[in-house]
Amino acid sequence: MNGPLLELTGVTRQFGGLKAVSDVTLSVPQGEVIGLIGPNGAGKTTLVNVITGVHPASAGTIRFAGEDITRLKPWQAARRGIARTFQIVQPFPEMTVLENVAAAAMFAGGVRYGRDAEHEAREHLRFVGLGDYADRDASALTLAMRKRLEFAKGLAMHPKLLLLDEVNAGLNATEVDEALALIRAIAGRGVTILIIEHLMKVVLSLCSRIVVLHHGELIAQGEPQAIIKDPRVIQAYLGRRYAGTEASNGG
């Protein structure tokens, strides 16, 4: 396929008078892992919601795999290959772990209802290391396991693009390392990933490119090493004083 997988042009999302996302233009090439960072309230999650159709864009266009998806509903976006995980994990609590993943496979992944979906769900669960928990209720899992479940659900949707919203929040150091390995493995399957993340260790080790949002605006994008030295980014996170005099002029 030619051109980027996901392409945002002048995307704005307003809530009343508040522009949560303002005129964002961005392209995500096929097969890359892009980091989306920014201070709290920068509009990162809103941007993901705009892409997936939860809060449709007020202005601008979103193209995915060459198709205009700006006005699509979440379930339509899901069937076209956009999967997301939630900052606060959202399994179906009274279903088994297996059923949770099977649901993703049959509704978004287009797998047939019944044994096919179940069979595929088991594979994904083994891949994320939850093979032994398939028949437990989803509500019985620990937080770290629920995050893995989110990965399995995401994979079962047969995604072209996976949007990871703070998948490492609330995990300890060991669990973060495990999640990192998992994300690498998923990327290794050729899935394009857009990851919202606060842990710089994760972002720096995974991403080929980083995009920075601040007050809903895209203030910088580029290679990780360049981004962490960018005065505008430092200023957004730490304020003018720390950004130094050059930064004040540049900002």
Partner 1 sequence: MKRDALIAVVLFALVALVPFSGEAYWLRLGTTMLMYGVIAMSWNFIGGMAGYPSFAVAAFFGLGAYTGAVAQKFGLPMGLAWTCAGLAALAFAALLGVALLRLRGHYFAIASLVVAEVLRELVNSATELTGGGMGLNLPIPTMTSIDAQAAFFFYAMLGLVAITFAAMLLTTYSKLGFGLRCIQQNESAADMLGVDTTFYKVSAFMLSGVFVGMAGAVYASWVHYIEPPDVFDVLFSVKAIVMVLLGGAGSVFGPLFGAALFLSLEELVWRKFLEVHTGVLGLLIVLLVMFLPKGLLSLSNRLPWARKTR
Which of 29-37, 79-87, 118-126, 231-239 is the region at the interface with partner 1 (rule: CB under 8 A)? 79-87
By the rule CB under 8 A, 224 interacts with partner 1? no
Q: Find the binding residues for partner 1 in span 126-155 (CB under 8 A).
A: 135, 153
Binding mask 156-175 for partner 1 (x = CB under 8 A): -x------------------
One of 59, 65, 95, 204 touching partner 1 (CB under 8 A): 95
Cβ of residue 222: shortest distance to partner 1, in angstroms? 31
Length of the chain: 251
By the rule CB under 8 A, 204 interacts with partner 1? no
Which of 3-11, 15-23, 99-107, 176-184 is the region at the interface with partner 1 (rule: CB under 8 A)? 99-107
Three-state SS for 56-102 is: CCCEEEEEECCEECCCCCHHHHHHCCEEECCCCCCCCCCCEHHHHHH
Residue 1 corresponds to which tokens in the numbers above? 């396929």
Give the residue among 82, 192, 174, 193 at the shortest CA–CA distance from 129.
174
Cβ of residue 177: shortest distance to partner 1, in angstroms? 27
Which of 39-47, 56-64, 67-75, 203-211 is the region at the interface with partner 1 (rule: CB under 8 A)? 67-75
Contact criterion met (CB below 8 Å) for 129 and 141: no
Which of 21-29, 64-72, 90-98, 125-133 is the region at the interface with partner 1 (rule: CB under 8 A)? 90-98
Burial letters 175-213, b for 16+ CB under 10 A, else e: bbebbbebbeebbeeebbbbbbbebeebbeebbebbbbb
